[in-house]
Amino acid sequence: MLTGRTLSARAASLLLTLWLVSALVFLAGQVLPGDVARVMLGPFADAQAVAALNRQLGADQPVLVQYWRWFSAALGGDFGTSLSMRAPVAPFVLASLGRSAALAGIILLLLVPLGVGAGIVAGLNQGRLTDRLIVLAGVSFGIVPDFVSGLLLLLVFGLWLNWLPITGAAPGAGFWTSGYYLILPALPLVLNL
């Protein structure tokens, strides 16, 4: 049973992991070659215009200052502006979280009955061929990487048999249609768990 101490330790571990990932991604962006203002204005832009845009974006500040400004704003829900799309990042993040949550829901809907059913059948047939086949199938599916099983499932069920759509989303579709479109992306994750 999970206690308050265990939950707080896991929450602290999660927060530390999120902070480390944010710091590493931010620093990786700083190490990459290229100047943001030069890319935005083009290769033939005037040096003064590039310097002015760097000042406006805060890219002329030290890396730790830039990170602190971004991190403190991100804690308040402001993830900044995408320099390539010139739009706020938060709607993109929220849309991605929504799609990820829908995919996780489909995975749970498929995984729970399959796992519980296979466990019951294996338990009722302990030591018999059925039990061994279920265990062998679970281990075999578990060692195949998601991208391999995903590609095979896409080829078989999406292209050859044409039973499932090969895209993971149907723009403007309703609840049930969107769920149907998520079955094929969910299957490799279900089989690998």
Please give the structure tokens belonging to residue 144.
């195949």
> For residue 2, is pLDDT > 90?
no
Say how far apart CA 36 and CA 38 lie, in whole Å. 5
pTM across the whole model: 0.69
Per-residue pLDDT tens over the stretch 128-165: 999 999 999 989 888 999 899 999 999 999 999 999 99
